[in-house]
Each structure stands twice: as structure tokens, then as C-alpha cells.
Structure 1
Amino acid sequence: MRPTVVTQLASRFPELLRNQDSPLPCTVDPNLFDPDAGGPASLARSLCYQCPLVQACAAYACHHHRRGIWGGTTERERRLAGYPPRPCHPAGPDSKGEN
């Protein structure tokens, strides 16, 4: 999913990639940015900060409730900045918790 999203962001902001000679780090090893894969967050963050799309990725993650490291931010940091967590799925017909 991440490489596709980043490719879409890159197509929206081609001017940011004019001097980019190598592939974007998150497209080479997307698992590094996934908290469930167990990669070190500090490495993922440092790679984000070197990327010209860092602000676009952070904004995308905030508005689309993405998990993992996006634009050098964690899901918790985005939530603390005022962006709501991902929407929960309804509990079903008894969503009020009444039996």
C-alpha cells in the first residue's frame, strides 16, 4: 500500500523530486515503516527526514488515519497533534453496548 501512496504523492509534487537520484526509502523497504514489523522507528524517521516528500507524507497520514511512520511521525504523535485516530468499526447491531 505504501509504495502506491508514495508514488501518487510523488506525481502530485514532481517539483519536490527534481534532484532525487535514488528511489524513495519507503518504496524500497516499506516494512521498515510498519510498527508491526518491528523495525526501529529511529531509522525510519531518519529516512523520512531525508525525503523530499516528508511533509506531504505526514499530511497524508494525518488525513487518512494511517498506521506506522509517515513523514517522520508516528500514529501517536499525529494523534497528540490533534488528528483523530483511525475510525473504529461499529460493534454491530448492538453498538451501544446494550444487551
Structure 2
Amino acid sequence: MSPNPKVTIEEHGRCGLVRYRENDKQILFEWEFCGGDRAVAEIWPLPLRRLTEQNTWSGARIADILDFVGREIVAQKAPGCRYEIDTDNSRITIVSA
């Protein structure tokens, strides 16, 4: 991990953007609130491809980056929830605890 990764969250109604920044690099995610009993929000990378296909610099660190983004989203916007990671599809689901 970079010594200073940062996550910022933009809200646009029921959806928005999550930016993961590390030095001069960035990964952009989109998120949307869910209406189910269990899932609170779904987060996926933009463009909608696996992160390894669009960000060669992140390479083998994808699982660590997704974990960091999930922790930050819960800490910043969803205290009391937890997150699940689908590393194969580069997706994060925020779920009720």
C-alpha cells in the first residue's frame, strides 16, 4: 500500500462516486443504494471492468485496495455496517451488520 492512500465519496442522490487516490494515481468507482433487506450499497469500478484490466499499476494489490476502500466507505458513511468484497469482479457490497 502507498503510505498515503485516500478515499473520497461524492453523493448524487441515491448514487455517486468513490475516488481512491494514491500519489498521482486514481481509481474511480460508482456506487448506488440498494433496496434489499441485506445489501445497503453496491460499489463497482468505472469503467465497468475488472480493476486489473484498467489499472495495470494496481496489479497484485487489487484485494488490498478493495479492502481499504470498503473499510473507508464503512467508516465514513456506513458505521454499523460491514463490507463484502468480490475480488474476481472488483466489487464491494456494503451490508447491514
Q: What is the TM-score normalised by the length of structure 1?
A: 0.32
Normalized per residue, which structure has more strand?
2
Q: What is the TM-score normalised by the length of structure 2?
A: 0.33
Normalized per residue, which structure has more helix?
1
Whose relative contact order is higher, 1 or 2, with alpha carbons under 8 Å and at least 6 apart?
A: 2
